[in-house]
């Protein structure tokens, strides 16, 4: 059994989300790679898949939304790498897209 406290870097993502990632077979190494995804890559992927930008703070983040089958999805893509919670925010954004789009992590990671 993996102890969640070893993922202390990701505490802002939430232990429930971390547990869910681990249950889905997403390793710590993948979580680190998720935090390193280029915001431009993620934004391009969202745009290509029909997501619409609803808010932009050009230097800090963009909020993207998609409505499918009466379900509302929202992802906040961070841009300011100087923010203390950037890694956690990007990990959460990538994981949200992974869940909502059902695409492989390799595509999300730009591989």
Chain-wide mean pLDDT for the chain?
Answer: 80
Query: Residue 111's pLDDT is what?
Result: 64
Query: Under CATH, what is the fold of the domain 38-111?
Result: Metal Transport, Frataxin; Chain A (3.30.920)
pTM to 2 decimal places: 0.78
Q: Give CA–CA dist 110/84, Å, rounded.
A: 24
Domain extents in the chain: 38-111
Query: Residue 24's pLDDT is what?
Result: 83
pLDDT band at 11; cut points 50, 70, 90: very low
At 54-94, the pLDDT tens digits run 877 767 888 999 988 888 889 999 998 888 888 888 888 99
């Amino acid at each position: 059994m993996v102890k969640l406290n070893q993922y202390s870097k990701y505490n802002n993502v939430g232990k429930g989300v971390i547990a869910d990632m681990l249950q889905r077979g997403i390793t710590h190494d993948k979580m680190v790679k998720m935090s390193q995804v280029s915001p431009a890559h993620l934004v391009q992927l969202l745009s290509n898949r029909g997501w619409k930008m609803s808010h932009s703070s050009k230097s800090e983040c963009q909020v993207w939304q998609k409505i499918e089958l009466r379900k509302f999805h929202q992802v906040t893509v961070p841009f300011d790498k100087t923010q203390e919670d950037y890694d956690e925010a990007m990990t959460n954004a990538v994981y949200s897209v992974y869940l909502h789009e059902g695409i492989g992590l390799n595509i999300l990671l730009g591989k």
